[in-house]
Structure 1
Amino acid sequence: MNDVKVQVIVKSPPSEIWKIWSNFSEAPLWDTDVSHCELNGPFQPGAQGKCILKNGLNMPLKLEEVKMHESYRNTARLLWIDLEFDHQMRRLSPNETHVIHTARIAGPLSFLYRGLLRKMLTAAMTTALDNLCTLAEQRANAISPPRLEKPGTHLHRV
């Protein structure tokens, strides 16, 4: 069961989103809760790294699964809470991609903080996905000229 699920339709090809996801050092460009992020090694299962949050907390992480240009899943530990983040995308058209981020909260003391963490993660992940959308669309438009479309809004929580 997912504790948090946010999603967005991005007017960008999946390749742009993959470039953003797989470059951990750029995470602060779109994940505003992160001040620094690094991965020790290539973007593949088993790779470990860390993100330092803006509040100063150090969050060790590990890539658990990577499906090139489709999805990746990482686990992280924050204080005494185990977190699992799943990042998925599905191509809707050559220049439109459905992106879904989910989070699961686990660990022996997670029941104490689940409600608060769910609320905080929902807000943080919604902002991060909005920023990811904006960044991917800006980069996609820099590569190809923008198409005239009706303005739309980003999709979010399910």
Structure 2
Amino acid sequence: MNDVTVKIIVKSPPAVIWNIWSDFPHAPLWDTDVRHCELDGPFQAGTLGKCVLKNGLRMPLRLEAVEFQESYRNSARLLWMDLEFDHRLRRLSPSETQVIHTARIAGPLSFLYRRLIRKALTAAMTTALDNLATLAERRANTSGTPASEKPESHLHLV
């Protein structure tokens, strides 16, 4: 299977997480493998954008589907591979949300990088979701707590 899935429980309502996700220019606050992200339009299906990774690779992307405060899916192209990232929120209670990130790896040459990319994506997505949880919980519980403090571990890998 070419999928990587990471799940986490966040002590935050979905709206807080959604606001973090949809603020693409500030993605490096929680996705530390990203140096810069931008969209060429609103956070809606069909909008194009790009992310520049910490290693300097540029990753063009497209928002494929957006369901307000529920999910979004984007496609990207990197190293002759087609990547699809699915981001989902599942409200568990008024103050608890399950966040599910899935990455799918495809493309004619993906078999060359599949094992390496799956390992790298698992590590990157694990760190990103842990940071996302810390940032969302701080925003849900306080205002103005710096996002740069070391996050606690929250993850439940699948």
Say whether the fold is shared (TM-score over 0.5).
yes
Distance in 1 of aligned mates of 2:91 and 2:114:
32
Corresponding residue for residue 111 of structure 1: 111
Indicate conservation of the 8 Å contact 2:2/2:118, yes or no: no
Aligned-CA RMSD value: 1.3
Corresponding residue for residue 76 of structure 1: 76
Percent identity between matched residues is 75
Distance in 1 of aligned mates of 2:80 and 2:22:
27
Corresponding residue for residue 124 of structure 1: 124
Q: Which runs of 5+ in 2 are unaligned?
A: 144-151
Q: Deviations over 1:78-119 (max 9, x none)?
A: 120110000001111111000000000001100111001000
Shift of 1:153: 5.8
Distance in 1 of aligned mates of 2:116 and 2:107:
15
* Matched residue type, 1:122: T
Distance in 2 of aligned mates of 1:2 and 1:141:
37
Q: Deviations over 1:42-101 (max 9, x none)?
A: 000000000000100000000000011000000001120110000001111111000000
Q: How has the CA–CA distance of structure 1 residues 153 and 58 changed in structure 2, closer, same or farther, with 3 Å as cutoff? A: closer
Shift of 1:3: 1.3
* Local SS of the residue matching 1:120: helix
Aligned length: 150
Distance in 2 of aligned mates of 1:115 and 1:153:
25
Distance in 2 of aligned mates of 1:119 and 1:129:
16
Q: Which runs of 5+ in 1 are unaligned?
A: 144-151
* Matched residue type, 1:81: M
* Local SS of the residue matching 2:85: strand
Shift of 1:157: 1.5
* Runs of at least 4 residues off by over 3 Å: none
Shift of 1:142: 1.3
Corresponding residue for residue 51 of structure 2: 51
Shift of 1:154: 2.0
* Matched residue type, 1:21: W
Corresponding residue for residue 139 of structure 1: 139
Distance in 1 of aligned mates of 2:53 and 2:95:
32
* Local SS of the residue matching 2:69: coil
Shift of 1:155: 3.3
Corresponding residue for residue 61 of structure 1: 61
Corresponding residue for residue 147 of structure 1: none
Corresponding residue for residue 16 of structure 1: 16
Distance in 2 of aligned mates of 1:140 and 1:67:
21
* Matched residue type, 1:54: K
Indicate conservation of the 8 Å contact 1:2/1:102, yes or no: no
Distance in 1 of aligned mates of 2:115 and 2:127:
19
